[in-house]
Amino acid sequence: MGRLAWTAVVALALVGQIGAYAAKPGPELGANEVKAGEEAAAQVAKEYKLSDNAADLKRVREIGAKLAAVANKREVGATYGSPVITPFEYKFDIIEDKDVNAFCVPGGHIYVYRGLLDFVQSDQELALILAHEITHAAHHHMVYKLKRQAALEDTGAIALLAAMAGGVKAGDLYNIQMGLLLLEIAKINGYGMQAERDADAGAIYYAIDAGCNPVGLLTFMERMARQPQFIDWGIYRSHPLDAERVAATKALLAKLRVPINRRATIKAITAEVRTDKIDGADVPGVVLSDRLIYRPAPVGDKTSLELAQQAADRINNALDSDVKMHELRVDGAGAAVAARGETLIRVSDADARLMGSTPAQVAASIGAAIRGVILMQMVDTVH
């Protein structure tokens, strides 16, 4: 029997029971969600190659476990679905596929694609994606979606909802069909925009309690918004992204007083100290964007290495604080570079000689390099 024929037969037999399901306090939640999710997980195992990479699985599962522990204890308000805590034994797996995608089936089976692991730039971004999927399960989005579809007399939704409420005796054919339909909804159709926004918010709350940086959700969203080729076939096929979702994420971070330091959750360009061998001596310098921008000469009891590290730290602190282009100043006469009135580097004659240049030229070069990074950061947040 085909999938459509099967759902139609079951639905017709159960249409009269919809009112009863709506009136009861959710028998389809908890254990029945887990059971239904197991059928969907069985279909995933049949249709996809699951990773056996021990290191990657350890990474995903350890991060996921921290977040799942929070979701099983903390009730987070739901704007879609239900916030009622039903502890699940969350399970995390990797699908060996290039899609930048992730999805969750009922009961806490969560899958991330290889393409997504390659796309995230930090454990913080990965944590927020996992927390987003955990929210789908914790807020019972699948059941809620099916109830809404059943109210519109969607035969597939009626059949699935009835089955999850214990209204159908399980059999091999039923298990296969239910698993396929649940997988199709979770992976392709998605839960809908309201559910995605609810999952975004839940992810932020769970991440904070788990000690993860919630800004990872914002940086992931912003980078995805600059990659329309992924939106067509990747995670936002089932997780549609719009400007309102990004704005809502920023607003919630602001409400929770979370500093938005994007550089903490991405592979940011940072100023680093590099030591080169020159005429047999170790000579340290500051490198930014793979370009040497400053070599400090020793002053008093401070070594060149100490001064280089201090200069790199000041530059990174300024960049981390989201310094703007107009807030950076280069003083040619004083050979100094400052941000928001604080001197980052003042180039001495001795410093300039190590660079084979003049103090004013070195300062101008440092300023140009920092402006280049600021410009890149500005482009990265346009969506």
Query: Which of 264, 282, 297 is at the close of a domain?
Result: 264
Same domain, yes or no: 356 and 255: no
Per-residue pLDDT of the chain (383 residues; tens, 9 = 90+): 444 443 433 333 333 333 333 334 355 577 878 888 888 899 899 999 999 999 999 999 999 999 999 999 999 999 999 999 999 999 999 999 999 999 998 899 999 999 999 999 999 999 999 999 999 999 999 888 887 766 655 555 556 666 666 644 454 444 556 667 777 777 766 778 889 999 999 999 999 999 999 999 999 998 887 765 554 444 555 555 667 888 999 999 999 999 999 999 999 999 999 999 988 889 999 999 999 999 999 999 999 999 999 999 999 999 999 999 999 999 989 999 999 999 999 999 999 999 999 999 999 999 999 999 999 888 766 55
Of 222, 238, 264, the one marking the end of a domain is: 264
Q: Are residues 116 and 198 in the same domain?
A: yes
Q: Are residues 292 and 236 in the same domain?
A: no
The first and second tokens of residue 297, run together, are: 């000469």
Residues 295 and 366 in one domain: yes
Surface-to-core class of residue 345, CB atoms within 10 Å of its CB (0-12 exposed, 13-18 middle, 19+ buried): buried
Q: Which contiguous run of DSSP H or E holds residue 329?
A: strand 328-331
140: left (phi over 0), alpha (psi -120 to 50) or beta: left
Joined together, the tokens standing for residue 25 give: 């306090």
Select from 145, 131, 125 the least CA-distant residue to 193. 145
Is the pTM higher than 0.85? no
Query: Do 149 and 11 fall into the same domain?
Result: yes
Over residues 138-166, the pLDDT tens digits come to 999 988 888 776 665 555 555 666 666 66
The three state secondary structure string of 102-133 is EEEECCCEEEEEHHHHHHCCCHHHHHHHHHHH
Residues 179 and 282 in one domain: no
Say if residue 221 is in the same domain as residue 363. Answer: no
Domain carrying residue 356: 272-380
Number of Cβ within a 10 Å radius of residue 197: 18
- Domain boundary at 240, 264, 288, which? 264
Q: Does residue 330 sit in the same domain as residue 299?
A: yes
Closest CA to 272 of 232, 305, 246, 298: 305
Shared domain check, 357 and 223? no
Single-letter residue type at 348: S
Q: Are residues 252 and 306 in the same domain?
A: no
The continuous run of DSSP H or E covering 186 comes out as none
DSSP of 203-222: HHHHHHHTT--THHHHHHHH
Same domain for 142 and 244? yes
How many domains, in total, are found in the chain? 2
Q: Would you tell me the crossing angle of helices 243-255 and 193-209 to the nearest 10 degrees?
A: 30
Does one domain contain both 59 and 124?
yes
β-pairing, 91-95 vs 102-105, is: unpaired
